[in-house]
Amino acid sequence: MQPYVKQEISNGIATIEFFHPEQNSLPGNLLAQLAETISNAGTNDQVRVIILKSGGDRTFCAGASFKELININDAETGKVFFSGFANVINAMRKCPKLIIGRIQGKTVGGGVGIAAATDYCMATKFASIKLSELNVGIGPFVVSPAIERKIGVSAMSQIAIDANNFYEPEWARSKGLFANVYETIEELDIAVKTFATHLCTYNPEAMTEMKKIFWKDTSDWDNLLAERAAISGRLVLSDFTKETLKKFK
């Protein structure tokens, strides 16, 4: 099972799927491919709506690659590493097409940020979420703007501080991260496809204008998320984080 980012376009719907055998944790090269694929779909006249999903059935996204994380030895490398999710979120933000998130399983760290950056997100009852960054001495600095935008400061700070625990999908739905929660992956897939197909009947220009409104006041995120990536890149070099990461090796 090799890592991949792939796209299929059918009847106006672009389905973008990513996969990594390590619980869909994303190394830098996959994050770059994902950001580029989303950007290209946004400019493709054949595409009206985007579905964003991951392969497998247990985990939507376990966050960034742990192997890359433990090998960071300087601040610049750290900034580049943490910019991976920043680039994906910014690609989703700038994409003129509505993005539907299909969250089939557990989601951690950067994966929660991706879910929050979709325009409409649907999940299963297995899609619990966690922001675990504080456990290793850093924080969800890069993804927190997207999460805060979707669920508010109070809910975001709750899961960021309570870094040991998963929060149930119904909790995420009640806070606005998920629009609907389904019993099975099969039910989720039917609902996602039905919803995407219906969106394709709408005026594309109207959907683009709506998306601009949804993302109002985020034009500074290129700089903001880069600054946040630099914070994480500095903290990952701290003695606390280095010692903590050794325990996970």
pLDDT tens digit string along 119-172?
999 999 999 999 999 999 999 999 999 999 999 999 999 999 999 999 999 999
pLDDT over threshold 80, residue 229: yes
pLDDT over threshold 90, residue 247: no
β-pairing, 49-54 with 59-61? unpaired
In 3D space, the residue among 102, 90, 213 whose CA is nearest the CA of residue 143 turns out to be 90
- What Cα–Cα distance (Å) separates residue 154 from each residue in 161, 175, 176, 183? 11, 10, 13, 28
Q: Flag whether 218 is in a domain.
A: no
Contact yes or no for 34/72 (Cβ under 8 A): no
Q: What is the DSSP string of 124-176?
A: ETT--EE--GGGGT---TTTHHHHHHHHHHHHHHHHHH-TT--B-HHHHHHHT
Per-residue confidence (pLDDT) for residue 4, from 0 to 100? 98
Average of per-residue pLDDT across 185-212:
98
Q: Flag whether 195 is in a domain.
A: no
CA–CA dist 66, 118 (Å, integer): 24
Q: Flag whether 28 is in a domain.
A: yes
Per-residue confidence (pLDDT) for residue 198, from 0 to 100? 98
Q: Flag whether 226 is in a domain.
A: no
Q: Collect all residues with Cβ–Cβ distance below 8 Å to 165 and sequence separation of at least 6.
A: 130
CA–CA dist 104, 126 (Å, integer): 7
Range of the domain at 60: 4-187
Q: Flag whether 65 is in a domain.
A: yes
Question: 148-151 — which CB contacts under 8 Å span 24+ positions?
Answer: 149/116, 149/218, 150/116, 150/176, 150/177, 151/116, 151/175, 151/176, 151/177
Where residue 86 sits, what CATH number does that domain have? 3.90.226.10
CA–CA dist 142, 128 (Å, integer): 20
pLDDT over threshold 90, residue 1: no
Q: Flag whether 74 is in a domain.
A: yes
Counting the structural domains of the chain, the total is 1
Q: Flag whether 245 is in a domain.
A: no
pLDDT over threshold 90, residue 175: yes
Q: Flag whether 234 is in a domain.
A: no
Per-residue confidence (pLDDT) for residue 249, from 0 to 100? 66
Average of per-residue pLDDT across 75-104:
97
Contact yes or no for 225/86 (Cβ under 8 A): yes
Amino acid at 98: L
Average of per-residue pLDDT values in the chain? 96
